[in-house]
């Protein structure tokens, strides 16, 4: 994988309807999206040349913008076509896909009703962790100080740039303390999610996961719930308090980037990655592969 900074790579980035040379895909320093966080984005992965659940991501992208009071000027079908074009043109059949939308430079004040809405789509290489034995060791999680905000305080269910401020701070703190990531509680002190992934636990053969009422309802999260139910595993969405973690057995996180990654430790609590985590890793990796059409 290239260690080049992201603005110095080669390839094509789709910007406002056209493919631009990677290094030319720039925005002005006076952009509303940068100053006032009027910016939403998506994170997706292509496997074998096809973007997994592309339309669901495009729908969420449009819904996030609506929560921030702006409209993405492309339909789901147009976004899906543009994303596929970027995957194809960059010749990256297995990659991460990043659509982003932001208010432009017409107005530099809190109110920016008539600013243009800019859209870009970039893709890059982001290998999945394939070594299953290494994966089954589990990652270690810190407990973040910041909490996911009350939906009365922020558009908590949008994938909005502004909501990542507390994620970056929390992840940096976790890394400095030797952890891979951090569990964030919500505004009521319940277990919510990690800084860029959702979280699951197991007890007595069932899966328990927080209700996604004040944080991002991950597309991987929904996929995992569906896969588990298809296997006949009971999935219970409920309020989970941090003190309860001592009674839970396995723990894993889910997200486009993380896919399904087991957890061995969260703060003072220990988990043992086991059969359910393994089954979800296997089912998820089978699910994301493009289906072979019958001849
Ligand atoms: N929560 C947060 C804060 C995230 O950034 C992500 C990654 N997009 C997720 C959850 C998981 O979402 P998804 O499964 O749709 O990638």
Residue 31: closest CA among 103, 114, 116: 103
pLDDT band at 113 (very low <50, low <70, confident <90, very high): very high
CATH number among 3.30.470.10, 2.60.40.10, 3.50.50.60, 3.20.20.70, domain 6-124: 3.30.470.10
* Best residue among 46, 166, 220, 284 to mutate for probing ligand 1, ranked by most atoms within 8 Å of CB: 220
Q: Which of 17, 101, 99, 92 is nearest to 50 (CA)?
A: 92
255-271 tens-digit pLDDT: 999 999 999 999 999 99
CATH superfamily of the 132-288 domain: D-amino Acid Aminotransferase, subunit A, domain 2 (3.20.10.10)
In the prediction, which pLDDT does 128 show?
84
Contact 170 CB / ligand 1 (< 6 Å): no
Establish whether 159 is a catalytic residue.
yes
- What pLDDT, on a 0 to 100 scale, did the predictor assign at position 3? 83
> If pLDDT is split at 50, 70 and 90, which confidence band does 80 have?
very high
Q: Mean pLDDT throughout 125-151?
A: 94
Is 261 close to ligand 1, i.e. is its CB under 6 Å away? Answer: no
Ligand 1: does its nearest atom lie under 6 Å from the Cβ of 197?
yes
- Ligand 1 midpoint to CA 253 (Å): 10
Half-sphere exposure of 71 (CA within 13 A, CB side): 4
Inform me whether the pLDDT recorded for 294 exceeds 60.
no
Task: Round to whole Å and give the CA distance between 12 and 21.
Answer: 5
- Nearest-CA residue for atom 2 of ligand 1: 196
* Centre of ligand 1 from the C-alpha of residue 45, in Å: 12
- pTM for the full model? 0.96
Q: Verify whether ligand 1 is closer than 6 Å to residue 219 (CB atom).
A: yes
Q: Where are the domains of the chain?
A: 6-124, 132-288
């Amino acid at each position: 994988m290239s260690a080049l900074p992201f603005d110095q790579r080669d390839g094509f980035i789709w910007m406002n309807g056209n493919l631009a040379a990677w290094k030319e895909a720039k925005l002005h320093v006076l952009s509303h999206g940068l100053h006032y966080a009027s910016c939403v984005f998506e994170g997706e992965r292509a496997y074998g040349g096809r973007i997994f659940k592309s339309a669901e991501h495009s729908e969420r992208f449009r819904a996030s913008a609506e929560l921030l009071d702006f409209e993405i000027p492309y339909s789901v079908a147009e976004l899906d076509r543009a994303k596929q074009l970027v995957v194809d043109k960059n010749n990256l059949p297995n990659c991460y896909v990043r659509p982003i939308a932001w208010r432009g430079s017409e107005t530099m004040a809190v109110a920016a009703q008539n600013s243009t809405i800019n859209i870009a789509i970039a893709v890059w290489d982001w290998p999945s962790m394939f070594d299953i034995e290494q994966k089954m060791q589990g990652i270690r999680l810190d407990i973040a100080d910041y909490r996911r905000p009350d939906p009365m305080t922020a558009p908590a269910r949008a994938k909005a740039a502004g909501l990542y401020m507390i994620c970056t701070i929390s992840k940096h703190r976790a890394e400095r303390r030797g952890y891979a990531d951090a569990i964030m509680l919500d505004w009521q002190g319940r277990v919510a999610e990690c800084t860029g992934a959702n979280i699951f636990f197991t007890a007595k053969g069932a899966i328990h996961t927080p209700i996604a009422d004040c944080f991002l309802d991950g597309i991987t999260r929904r996929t995992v719930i569906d896969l588990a139910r298809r296997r006949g595993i009971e999935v219970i969405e409920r309020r989970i308090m941090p003190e309860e973690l001592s009674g839970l057995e396995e723990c894993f996180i889910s997200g486009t980037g993380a896919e399904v990654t087991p957890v061995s430790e969260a703060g003072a609590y220990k988990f043992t990655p086991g059969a359910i985590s393994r089954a979800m890793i296997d089912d998820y990796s089978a699910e994301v592969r493009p289906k072979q059409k019958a001849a």
